[in-house]
Amino acid sequence: MATASQQDYLWTLNFGPQHPATHTTLRILLTLDGERVVDAVPDIGYLHSGFEKIGEHLDYNQYVTVTDRMNYISPMANNVAWHHAVEKLLGIELTPRCQYLRVIIAELARISDHLLCVGAMGLDVGAFTFFLYGFYERERIYDIFEALCGARFTNSYTRVGGVMHDITPGTVEKIRDFLARFPATLEDMERLLTRNRIFVDRTQGVGVLTREEAINRGASGPVARASGVTRDLRKDEPYLAYRDFDFQVCCSRAGDCYARYLVRIHEMRESLRIVHQALENLPAGPVNVGIDRRVNLPDKSRVYQTIEGTITHFELVMSNRGFTVPCEEAYGAVEAPNGELGFYVVGDGSNVAYRARCRPPSFVHFALFPHLIRGHTLSDVVAVLGSLNIIAAELDR
Amino acid sequence: MSELVKNVTAALTARFDGCTVSEFRGEARVRVPRHHLLPVLQFLQQEQGFDLLVDITCVDYLVYRDATDRFGLVYLLCHTESSQRVTIRVTLNEPDLHVPSATPLWEAANWLEREVYDMFGIEFTGHPDLRRILLPPEFAAFPLRKDYPLQGRGERHNFVPLARDAS
């Protein structure tokens, strides 16, 4: 059989790097036979900014600002993932209140990520209204984050051994209000799209990933669960306080774009349940780990009035002191909205990581793309791309 | 370390000589000699059910305290049925930076190995398409190596502008 390049009736199309449906900067070289995609070669790296190299020069608290810029659709989830790995390396056990708080923000981040993913997927296949519904709700989650930490987009909310501030009653009310009003919008969104003939025709049976391929190609998160892999780190390797909550892992067997859409929609419902349970059972007590761990800056009243507070403060801010880090390596992963987001952190005794490897789910999922699109039409490219939720900043880092 | 991982690491050390097992925060790490790498990965995937390749990454130990080897390759594997993890580590030294590719076992290894090659210059023999992935093909260095500075090299102004007819 002749290879694709030998057949002169095939033509090449550059999809991206600037294209409204890539949403971010990535390029795909498509080889087409009429409208049918014969081959696709992804070309990535346009947004490569050396995040992992920067991670070797910023300390464990400073680097959280860079993780915001990886998957900027859900920066809170990245913050949680980074400090989860760092705390594993340092051997820090968080306080129950902090664990619950991190669960709340991680699940709100999941809702906002899924809203954008399904919204943009709808937008790309022609459902503009649906996208606006999703974006309006994202705005309300931004408001919650703004009340919580002062930043809407790049939150940098977590710290080693704790979070930036404790949650305030006003923020709790905002989240309660969101929990009360969001299900109705989700119902509306589902009514718009889930049984919409045009949407179903364009996504069902498109970009099918079987269970075996999903595992062999390293898929995780909603992409793997839509293919029948019943794997969710929140259930399988419970971190933070996920053991305490009652929720379901949403799976499907079809493995196509429609299944990935459905899994994401249902995960938003489960996330709502988790946020509700966490918020109503939020434990009292301190939000940061104790002063004897010497990882959090103590509050000012302790610094000025107690000798332990003063010592801890100075130990942490002096340039030749800082955290006590073992010369060891640890991999910590969380179930980010997009899949397994892990950091491989190598400590060398100083308070700067020797190596801060990020295992980005977008990178692994985008490698699936040529496999999923082969044999489909050009218009299916956007459906598959949207269902994988490729965030180029995380893809290229 | 769980019962399952204990059994697996015991089977590994019994079958392949030169493997050493260590543990940190409950996670098993096995250091494997390079010539055993592919057989070990194959053994774990096909006989022990470690079916998911989570990540391949590399650490440059050039300025690490008490380090004897230059590069450490890290393979993170997961047993999806029981959610147990094991880490496989291989050390490499210049000038021979070749390891067998894991692409015959896992498709997922394709891009992960390309990234390690791009950033550290480690060559995976048998890889179907070993090109740079994040950096442009004309880039001459391996930026995540420790002898590559954070600032000053490889930045935009150092590149020769490409003319339209040359691209």
Take residue A87 and report the two structure tokens written for it: 């705390």
Size of interface A-B (CB pairs under 8 A): 102
What does residue A304 show for φ and ψ, rounded to 5 degrees? -85, -25
B4 touching A (Cβ < 8 Å): no
| Element at A140 (helix H, strand E) | helix A128-149
The pLDDT of residue A18: 80
Q: Domain A51-396 sits in which CATH superfamily?
A: Cytochrome-c3 Hydrogenase, chain B (1.10.645.10)
Residues of B with Cβ-Cβ distance to A70 under 8 angstroms: none
Average pLDDT over residues B129-147: 88
B14–chain A nearest CA distance, Å: 25
**Does domain B3-166 sit in CATH 3.30.300.20?**
no
3-class state of residue A130 by DSSP: helix
Whole-number Å distance between alpha carbons of A112 and A118: 10
Domain spans of chain B?
A: 3-166
Residue of chain A nearest B149, judged by CA positions: A53
The pLDDT of residue A1: 47
The pLDDT of residue A319: 74
Q: CB distance A218–B54 less than 8 Å?
A: yes
A63–chain B nearest CA distance, Å: 15
Q: Are β-strands B123-125 and B98-100 bridged in parallel, bridged antiparallel, or unpaired?
A: parallel
Tens place of pLDDT for every residue, chain A, 397 residues?
456 556 677 888 888 788 777 777 888 999 988 889 998 999 998 888 889 999 999 888 889 999 999 888 889 999 999 999 999 998 888 999 999 999 999 999 999 999 999 998 988 888 888 999 989 999 999 999 999 988 888 888 998 888 888 899 999 999 999 999 999 999 999 999 999 898 999 999 898 999 999 999 999 999 999 999 989 999 888 888 899 999 999 999 988 999 999 999 999 999 999 999 999 999 998 888 877 777 888 888 888 998 888 888 888 888 777 778 888 899 999 999 999 999 999 998 888 899 999 999 999 999 999 999 988 998 889 889 889 888 888 888 8
B111 touching A (Cβ < 8 Å): yes
What is the reported pTM?
A: 0.91
Residues of A with Cβ-Cβ distance to B112 under 8 angstroms: 218, 363-364
Q: CB distance A344–B60 less than 8 Å?
A: no
Residues of A with Cβ-Cβ distance to B51 under 8 angstroms: 215-216
Q: CB distance A218–B87 less than 8 Å?
A: no
B144 touching A (Cβ < 8 Å): yes
Return the sign of the alpha-carbon dihedral for residues A229, A232, A235, A238.
positive
* Through-space distance between the first and last CA atoms of chain B, rounded to whole angstroms: 54
∠ Cα A52 A55 A59 (to 5°): 170
Q: CB distance B80–A215 less than 8 Å?
A: yes
Q: Alpha carbon of A357 to those of A87, A254, B60: distances in Å?
A: 15, 33, 12
A349 touching B (Cβ < 8 Å): yes
